[in-house]
Amino acid sequence: MENKRQSGSLTREQLDHYNVEGYLVLEDLLDEQDMAAPRAAMAEKVSMIADELYDDGLIADKLEGEPFKYRLAKLFAGKTDKDFLKYGRSWRDRIAGYYRLLSNPKILNAVESLIGDEIFANPVYNVRPKVPGVAAGAVPWHQDKSYWPDANANPVITVWIPLVDATLENGCLHIKPRTQIRKLLDWHAESHTGTGYTALHEHQLGKCPTVALPVKAGTAILFNDRVLHMSTPNGSDHVRWSVDLRYQPTDQDPMVQHGVGFLARSGKFPSRVATLADWLAERPEHEG
């Protein structure tokens, strides 16, 4: 049992929970070692942003000594939503630490339990620094499928993992269980965050209760692309760092219009699994 939990593979009970409730919480899926590479990648990106802010005269101090949890929040303290969208919005960089995370065997073992061992890492993965006071931090109720309505890809599994503890105060994920069986609802693009997030109106949410999911850093929340979810604003003094990674079976639409995904695991063709070099070069499959 302990080995199974550590490997990420799901038990029968966990599979049943996912299938019935539409989501699953895997406590402590990642340990400090697993999180070191993605945290370093995020810190690298924060340094790039600090350089840009400094070069453009928006800050006088790059705050190099500030801890991971606080630095980006302090860099943007007193800045506008527009500044954040200009300097702090693009988070799909090809930094090695993100590949290490996307390829983490514990995550892939959990996904394999759900969809089998031919696993494609969808190009839509997000590194999310939810910065206090930035409107784009709060994500309205939506279904992920609204971002790829025309794709035949179903199911796409989201693996959401915070890199600092996600709390009610800093804006953890909220979910409506059992909504995975819903068809894709008509959505609209919201207009107050400046990001055009897809959103649903209150009256479309139905009577399903909402479950708030405060979880510790390294815990994973899995759900599919029909489940209604949202996150609240960050009312804390630090960044709520998280990632949402997406995986699907290889026989589904690779969604090239969203970027280049990669073959993350293959029982049939293990030699074709993308290497770090493939990923950095944006090649979906290993050629040799």
Q: How many CB atoms lie within 10 A of CB 273?
A: 17
Cβ-based nearer residue to ligand AKG, 99 or 241: 241
Candidates 176, 229, 238, 286; binder of ligand AKG (CB under 6 A) is: 229
User: Would you count residue 144 as binding ligand AKG (CB under 6 A)?
Assistant: yes
Instruction: Tell me the closest approach of the beta carbon of residue 229 to ligand AKG, in angstroms.
Output: 6
Candidates 63, 111, 114, 139; binder of ligand AKG (CB under 6 A) is: 139
Cβ-based nearer residue to ligand AKG, 119 or 166: 166
Is residue 233 within 8 Å of residue 90, measured between CB atoms?
no
Query: In whole angstroms, what is the distance from residue 146 CA to residue 186 CA?
Result: 8
Cβ-based nearer residue to ligand AKG, 24 or 63: 24
Cβ-based nearer residue to ligand AKG, 130 or 176: 130
Per rule CB under 6 A, count of chain residues that contact ligand AKG: 11
Cβ-based nearer residue to ligand AKG, 63 or 172: 172
User: Would you count residue 247 as binding ligand AKG (CB under 6 A)?
Assistant: no
Cβ-based nearer residue to ligand AKG, 180 or 242: 242
- The CA radius of gyration of the chain, in Å to the nearest whole number, is 19
Is residue 273 within 8 Å of residue 263, measured between CB atoms?
yes
Ranges of beta strands (E only) in the chain are 23-26, 118-121, 126-130, 139-142, 157-162, 173-175, 188-189, 198-199, 211-213, 220-224, 229-231, 240-249, 262-266
Q: How many helices (DSSP H) and strands (DSSP E) are in the chain?
A: 8, 13
Query: In whole angstroms, what is the distance from residue 36 CA to residue 27 CA?
Result: 18
User: Would you count residue 242 as binding ligand AKG (CB under 6 A)?
Assistant: yes
Cβ-based nearer residue to ligand AKG, 158 or 266: 158
CA atoms within 13 A of residue 92's CA, in its CB half-sphere? 14
Q: How many CB atoms lie within 10 A of CB 61?
A: 11
Candidates 34, 112, 190, 244; binder of ligand AKG (CB under 6 A) is: 244
User: Would you count residue 222 as binding ligand AKG (CB under 6 A)?
Assistant: no
Q: Segment 155-194, which members bind ligand AKG (CB under 6 A)?
A: 158, 160, 173
What residues contact residue 150 under an 8 Å CB cut-off, 6+ apart? none
> Taking Cα atoms as reference points, which of 88, 110, 87 lies closest to residue 158?
110
User: Would you count residue 128 as binding ligand AKG (CB under 6 A)?
Assistant: yes
User: Would you count residue 145 as binding ligand AKG (CB under 6 A)?
Assistant: no
User: Would you count residue 98 as binding ligand AKG (CB under 6 A)?
Assistant: no
Candidates 113, 170, 231, 250; binder of ligand AKG (CB under 6 A) is: 231
Instruction: Tell me the closest approach of the beta carbon of residue 23 to ligand AKG, in angstroms.
Output: 11
Cβ-based nearer residue to ligand AKG, 115 or 173: 173
Instruction: Tell me the closest approach of the beta carbon of residue 107 to ligand AKG, in angstroms.
Output: 14
Peptide bond into 155 cis (omega under 30): yes
Query: In whole angstroms, what is the distance from residue 225 CA to residue 38 CA?
Result: 24
Q: Tell me which residue has tokens 């966990």.
A: 14
Residue numbers of the site for ligand AKG (CB under 6 A)? 128, 130, 139, 144, 158, 160, 173, 229, 231, 242, 244
